[in-house]
Amino acid sequence: MSQIEPPLSFPTKGHPKGLAVLFTTEMWERFNYYGMRAILVLFMTKALMFDQVFASNLYGSYISLVWLSPLIGGYIADRYWGNKRSIIAGGLLMALGEFILFFCASLYETSQQLSLLLFVSGLGFVIAGNGLFKPNISSLVGQLYPKGDRRIDSAYTIFYMGINTGGALGPFVCGLVGETGNPADFKWSFLVAGIGMLLSVIIQKIYQNKYLVAPGGKPIGGVPENSPKMVFNPFFVSIGLAFLCILMIGILYLDAKVFSFLSYILPASVLLIAFIVFFDKSLSRLEKERVGVIFILSFFVIFFWSAFEQAGASLTFFADTQTQRDLGFFTIPASIFQSLNSTFVVLFAPLFAWLWLKLGKYEPSSPLKMAFGLFFLSMGYLWIAFGVKDVQPGIKVSVIWLTGMYALHTWGELCISPIGLALVNKLAPLKFASLLMAVWFLSNAAGNKLAGVLSTLYPDNGKTTSFLGYDMNNMYEFFMLFVLMSGAASIILFFLARKLKRVMQDGK
């Protein structure tokens, strides 16, 4: 029986076929992730009846752990399981988490306590699975190419199209089936997301051994040398995965209900990774300097994600209550607006991939691209700030303001996220490839946790909130907070870009 060929008609001409496999696997995984994320705060506030402040905090804790968990997954892959095994295990855990959430959403009316337990458990399974999946599939993209290959930036941008194809479809489909006006229908969103995750696992399992190979034809992402055989024993695998899920559930519960646990974990994780890497005697001075660049740029990216990730919290509340969604013949579900960013990525990613190659020797360095990313983010919030200026509470504004903001944010994201993924791949020593990819995700974790905190300041119904002495009485002042934060970070990074490029030497 001949093996079915994968659909290789993606925009991967001139790239290894393995890129199309990773594109498709990641597309369905992101369909799952973004589809569930689009309805998460709405499910919490309309079905579980959490207030907006608690829902925002819990959202920030959940998304932060989604990006923090790759620290563990990257370490497991580097030392024990390898990339491919970790991806399959992580994908199955995420699918199981979505099905647990489906049962949670099916029982919340009749068994509230059990439903709450299932809710936290489902999120914990998704977090644990993501930790094994996310850093390893991103790391595999770079391993398809020889070091120094100029196609790597383009490859990560194409890969990012896969992320955002799923990111565009997920909220659209999950929003249509789940956000019907009846909170009981949210369960269908979780079910559809889980099915998408299973498709991701199946595609990866079928094609990974044939197409995920290095330029010389050697398989990539395999089990590391000297990995103990006991780590593949089904009993120990089951115990290890169960422990990881329980750990994530416990941390999420502690952070949301007891005290801000993540405020301690995040800086401790930075110090731990820095200790592991910088005290490794096998690394040269140049390698350590390049790792330092990764840490510096990751710090600036925190400011980007803290503003960008308002999409899943405060901007969803804004779309739900203050955006004119009634078209006369159809009311747009608030969750569908989260498809805009990913749709714009699919539209603009080929242009950005072409632009970096076309500029040739005039191509901006990675730090300079990221400074532009923060600038576009600031301009997006400036756009929507003017859209709501002098608008009274309760008055709904045109969808053009959210649409324009997401377009500008997309330009910023294309200068930040795929470039950052490629940067880590180019600068990280091979022995710490997955762990340092997790550092990049750690900046996402910190940014998302801060995003949840900042979302609690949403001045709904004219209430006054304050951040570091800055009072916000309306949506204009709330959005201007992000203009100032991301704009200041952009200016500082513009001034640092040249020095960072010199440290990177032959990096971009």
Please determine, for residue 343, whether its predicted confidence score (pLDDT) is greater than 80.
Answer: yes
The total number of structural domains in the chain stands at: 1
**Choice between 72 and 197, residue whose per-residue pLDDT is larger:** 197
Q: What is the mean pLDDT of residues 219-238?
A: 79
Say if residues 245 and 93 touch (Cβ distance below 8 Å): yes
Tokens of 451: 């995003």
- Determine, yes or no, domain membership for 365: yes
pLDDT (0 to 100) of residue 3? 35
Per DSSP, the residues of 40-95 read HHHHHHHTS---HHHHHHHHHHHHHHHHHTHHHHHHHIIIIIHHHHHHHHHHHHHH
- Determine, yes or no, domain membership for 3: no
Please determine, for residue 153, whether its predicted confidence score (pLDDT) is greater than 80.
Answer: no
Please determine, for residue 507, whether its predicted confidence score (pLDDT) is greater than 60.
Answer: no
| Separation between Cα atoms, residue 25 and residue 37, nearest integer Å | 19
| Separation between Cα atoms, residue 474 and residue 312, nearest integer Å | 20
| Separation between Cα atoms, residue 56 and residue 439, nearest integer Å | 24
Confidence of residue 506 (pLDDT cuts 50, 70, 90): low
Q: Which amino acid is at 55?
A: A
Length of the chain: 508
- Determine, yes or no, domain membership for 4: no
pLDDT in tens, 12-25: 557 788 888 999 99
Say if residues 197 and 98 touch (Cβ distance below 8 Å): yes
Q: What is the mean pLDDT of residues 116-122?
A: 93
- Determine, yes or no, domain membership for 113: yes
Please determine, for residue 7, whether its predicted confidence score (pLDDT) is greater than 50.
Answer: no
The domain of 31 spans 18-504
**Nearest partner of 166 among 355, 36, 70, judged by Cα:** 36
pLDDT (0 to 100) of residue 228? 76
Q: Computed from CA positions of residues 435, 437, 440, 444, in that sequence, does the dihedral angle turn out positive or negative?
A: negative
Minimum mean pLDDT among 319-328, 379-388, 456-465: which range? 456-465
Minimum mean pLDDT among 83-87, 219-223, 437-441: which range? 437-441
Tokens of 56: 């925002």
Who's near 113: CB < 8 A, 6+ residues apart? Answer: none
Q: Angle 30-31-34 (CA atoms, 0-180°, nearest 5)?
A: 70
Please determine, for residue 1, whether its predicted confidence score (pLDDT) is greater than 50.
Answer: no
pLDDT (0 to 100) of residue 434? 67
pLDDT in tens, 154-203: 787 788 778 888 989 999 999 999 998 899 999 999 999 999 999 999 99
pLDDT (0 to 100) of residue 47? 92
Say if residues 163 and 319 touch (Cβ distance below 8 Å): no
**Choice between 63 and 431, residue whose per-residue pLDDT is larger:** 63
Who's near 393: CB < 8 A, 6+ residues apart? Answer: 461, 462, 474
Say if residues 374 and 490 touch (Cβ distance below 8 Å): yes
Q: Which amino acid is at 164?
A: N
Per DSSP, the residues of 351-420 read HHHHHHHHHGGGPPPHHHHHHHHHHHHHHHHHHHHHHHTTPPTT--B-HHHHHHHHHHHHHHHHHHHHHH
- Determine, yes or no, domain membership for 163: yes
Who's near 480: CB < 8 A, 6+ residues apart? Answer: 381, 382, 385
**φ and ψ of 487, to 5 deg:** -65, -40
**φ and ψ of 214, to 5 deg:** -75, 170
Minimum mean pLDDT among 87-96, 356-365, 369-378, 446-455: which range? 356-365
- Determine, yes or no, domain membership for 12: no
Q: Which residues pair with 476 in a beta bridge?
A: none
Tokens of 252: 């999420």
Q: Which residues pair with 465 in a beta bridge?
A: 472
Q: Which amino acid is at 274?
A: A
CATH number, domain containing residue 98: 1.20.1250.20
Q: What is the mean pLDDT of residues 356-385?
A: 90
Q: What is the mean pLDDT of residues 115-136?
A: 92
Who's near 278: CB < 8 A, 6+ residues apart? Answer: 288, 291
Tokens of 434: 């997955």
Who's near 386: CB < 8 A, 6+ residues apart? Answer: 476
pLDDT in tens, 258-294: 777 787 788 888 888 888 888 887 777 887 888 888 8
CB-CB neighbours of 183 under 10 Å: 19
Mean residue pLDDT across the chain: 85
**Nearest partner of 190 among 417, 33, 11, judged by Cα:** 33
- Determine, yes or no, domain membership for 2: no
Please determine, for residue 127, whether its predicted confidence score (pLDDT) is greater than 90.
Answer: yes
- Determine, yes or no, domain membership for 391: yes
| Separation between Cα atoms, residue 33 and residue 30, nearest integer Å | 5
Say if residues 425 and 356 touch (Cβ distance below 8 Å): no
Say if residues 29 and 204 touch (Cβ distance below 8 Å): no
| Separation between Cα atoms, residue 67 and residue 298, nearest integer Å | 13
Please determine, for residue 375, whether its predicted confidence score (pLDDT) is greater than 60.
Answer: yes
Cβ-in-10-Å burial (0-12, 13-18, 19+) of 74 comes to buried
